[in-house]
Amino acid sequence: MIPPLDEDKRLRLEEVAREMRRRILEMIAEAGSGHPGGSLSAVEMVTALYFHIMRLRPEDPLWPERDRFVLSKGHAAPVLYAALALRGFFPPEELRGLRRIDSILQGHPDMKKTPGVEMSTGSLGQGLSTAVGMALAGRMDGKGYRVYALLGDGEIQEGQIWEAAMAAAHYRLDNLVAFLDFNGLQIDGPLEQVMSITPVADKWRAFGWHTVAIDGHDLQEIVEAARGAVAGRPTMIVARTVKGKGVSFMEDEVGWHGKAPSREQLEQALRELT
Amino acid sequence: MRMGEYIMTKSEATRDAYGEELLALGQVNERIVVLDADLSGSTRTSRFARAFPERFFNVGIAEQNMIGIAAGLATAGKIPFASSFAVFALGRAYDQLRTSVAYNNLNVKIAATHAGLSVGADGASHQALEDIALARALPNIRVVVPADGVETRAAVRTAAAVEGPVYLRLGRPKVPVLFGPEHEFAFGRGQKLREGSRAAIVSCGVMTYRALRAAEALAREGIEVTVVNMPSLKPLDEELLLEVARSCGAVVTVEEHSIIGGLGSAVAEFLSEEHPVPLRRVGVRDAFGRSGTPEDLFQAYGLTEADICRAVRELL
The CA distance from A176 to A135, in Å, is: 6
Of the candidates B149, B176, B203, which is a domain's last residue?
B176
Does any CB of chain A come closer than 8 Å to the CB of residue B67? yes
CB contact under 8 A, A134 and B72: yes
Q: Which residues of A70-96 are buried (b: 16+ CB within 10 A; e: fewer)?
A: bbbbbbbbbbbbbbbbbbebbeeebbe
Does any CB of chain B come closer than 8 Å to the CB of residue A119? yes
Backbone region of residue B292 per phi and psi (left: phi > 0; alpha: psi in -120 to 50; beta: other values): left
Residues 6+ apart with CB under 8 A from B182: none
pLDDT at B278 over 50: yes
Q: Model confidence over B120-141: pLDDT tens digits?
A: 999 999 999 999 999 999 999 9
Does any CB of chain A come closer than 8 Å to the CB of residue B92? no
Query: Which residues of chain B have a CB within 8 Å of the CB of A130?
Result: 68-69, 71-72, 75, 100
The CA distance from A244 to A265, in Å, is: 13
pLDDT at residue number B9: 80
Does any CB of chain B come closer than 8 Å to the CB of residue A172? no
CA distance A211 to chain B (A): 21
Residues 6+ apart with CB under 8 A from B265: B133, B136, B259, B281
- Considering CB atoms only, which of B55, B65, B76 is closest to A160? B65
Query: Which residues of chain B have a CB within 8 Å of the CB of A133?
Result: 68-76, 80
Residues B53 and B134 occupy one common structural domain: yes
Residues B254 and B111 occupy one common structural domain: no
Give residue B293's domain range: 191-315
Q: How many CB pairs under 8 A join A and B?
A: 102
**Over residues B240-258, mean pLDDT:** 98
Residues B131 and B32 occupy one common structural domain: yes
**Over residues B278-301, mean pLDDT:** 98
Interhelix angle for B63-75 vs A159-170, to 10°?
A: 60
Residues B17 and B141 occupy one common structural domain: yes
Selected residues 137-156 of chain A with any CB under 8 Å from a CB in chain B: 137-138, 140-141
Domain assignment present for B31: yes
Q: Which residues pair with A214 in a beta bridge?
A: A239
Does any CB of chain B come closer than 8 Å to the CB of residue A129? yes
pLDDT at B1 over 60: no
CA dist list (Å): A221 to A174, A217, B155:
19, 8, 52
Percent of chain A scoring above 70 in pLDDT: 100
Per-residue pLDDT band at B288 (split at 50, 70, 90): very high
Domain assignment present for B185: no
Q: Model confidence over A118-174: pLDDT tens digits?
A: 999 999 999 999 999 999 999 999 999 999 999 999 999 999 999 999 999 999 999
CB contact under 8 A, A163 and B59: yes
The CA distance from B1 to B227, in Å, is: 10
**Over residues A232-246, mean pLDDT:** 98
pLDDT at residue number A219: 98
Residues B60 and B116 occupy one common structural domain: yes
The CA distance from A263 to B296, in Å, is: 69
Element (H, E) at B240: helix B238-248
pLDDT at B315 over 50: yes
Domain assignment present for B186: no
Catalytic positions of B, written as ranges: 63
The CA distance from B202 to B227, in Å, is: 6
CATH number (domain holding residue B232): 3.40.50.920
- Considering CB atoms only, which of B62, B68, B72 is closest to A137? B72
CB distance B254 to B282 below 8 Å? yes
Does any CB of chain A come closer than 8 Å to the CB of residue B125? no
Which CATH code is given to the segment(s) A7-272? 3.40.50.970
Structurally, chain B folds into a number of domains equal to 2
pLDDT at B119 over 70: yes
Residues B218 and B79 occupy one common structural domain: no
CA within 13 Å, CB half, A70: 32
CATH number (domain holding residue B50): 3.40.50.970
How many residues comprise chain B?
316
What is the residue-wise DSSP string for B172-222? SSEEE--S-TT----TT--EEEE--SS-EEEE-TTHHHHHHHHHHHHHHTT
Q: Model confidence over B183-238: pLDDT tens digits?
A: 999 999 999 999 999 999 999 999 999 999 999 999 999 999 999 999 999 999 99
Residues B106 and B135 occupy one common structural domain: yes
- Considering CB atoms only, which of A111, A138, A160 is closest to B76? A138
pLDDT at B2 over 80: no
- What mean pLDDT is reported for chain A? 98
The CA distance from A199 to A191, in Å, is: 12
Q: Model confidence over B91-100: pLDDT tens digits?
A: 999 999 999 9
CA distance B42 to chain A (A): 22
Please report, for chain A, the start and end positions of each structural domain, with discontinuous segments joined by +.
Answer: 7-272
Residues B116 and B204 occupy one common structural domain: no
Residues 6+ apart with CB under 8 A from B54: A140
Element (H, E) at A222: helix A219-227
pLDDT at B5 over 80: no
**Over residues A103-121, mean pLDDT:** 98
pLDDT at B3 over 90: no
Does any CB of chain A come closer than 8 Å to the CB of residue B58? no
Q: Is A24 helix (H, G, I), strand (E, B) or coil?
A: helix
The CA distance from B251 to B245, in Å, is: 7
ipTM for the assembly: 0.97
